[in-house]
Amino acid sequence: MTQSRREFVKLTGVFAVMASAGLISTKEAFAQQQAWNKAAFEAKSLDETVKALGGPAATQSADISITAPDIAENGAVVPVAVTSKIPNTQNVYILVEKNPNSLAAGFAIPAGTDANVSTRIKMGQTSNVHAVVKADNKFYVATKEVKVTLGGCGG
């Protein structure tokens, strides 16, 4: 009696652990993937991407700055930082014009977080890099060219 009861308790314990560690996080993972904007990541241009993100078009803004090298020695890793001074910035997106799909990364910026994110992207070739900002549900854009050079000896 006592023993089987103890077994039962143990089992529920295991289930509880599984639920908290495995099952729930898988569910969360699934939910997050659902949220991933497939259309935006498949878009082939700045305009298409902005449309997929819900905007009509993006207007040029001097309040967005892109920190990226003028020349990237290797396109596999290109450091890019975007700062937006536009009030109520909600999202920051990094696009590479000549990549097979333009959108590389998008960030949601809640209140209290600086509209300044830094990451590293891949570039297949020399291209314009666009930083798109969504603020008060309007879209803005700034652009900078990054040259990608060839590697060295032997290949």
Q: Interface residues with other proteins (CB under 8 A)?
A: 25-26, 28-30, 32-33, 35-37, 41, 67-74, 76-79, 81, 96, 99-101, 103-110, 112-114, 116-123, 147, 149-155
At its nearest, how many Å lie between other proteins and the CB of residue 147? 8
CB atoms within 10 A of CB 22: 10
* Beta carbon nearer to other proteins, 11 or 23: 23
User: Residue 75's Cα: distance from chain center in Å?
Assistant: 18
C-beta closer to other proteins: residue 68 or 141: 68
CB 100, min distance to other proteins, A: 7
User: Which CB sits closer to other proteins, 56 or 100?
Assistant: 100
* Closest by CA position to 119, among listed 83, 71, 73, 155: 83
Least distance (Å) between residue 83 CB and other proteins: 11
Rounded CA-CA distance 123/74 in Å is: 8
CA–CA separation, 54 vs 23, rounded Å? Answer: 33
Q: CB of 146: closest distance to other proteins in angstroms?
A: 9
Cβ nearer to other proteins, comparing 11 with 17: 17
Which distant-in-sequence residues (6+ apart) come within 8 Å of 60 by Cβ?
Answer: 140, 141, 142
Give the span between the Cα atoms of 19 and 49, in whole angstroms.
Answer: 38
**Cα–Cα distance measured from residue 100 to residue 52, given in angstroms and rounded to the nearest whole number:** 16
Q: Please, which residue, 72 or 142, has the CB nearer to other proteins?
A: 72
Least separation in angstroms between residue 7's CB and other proteins is 30
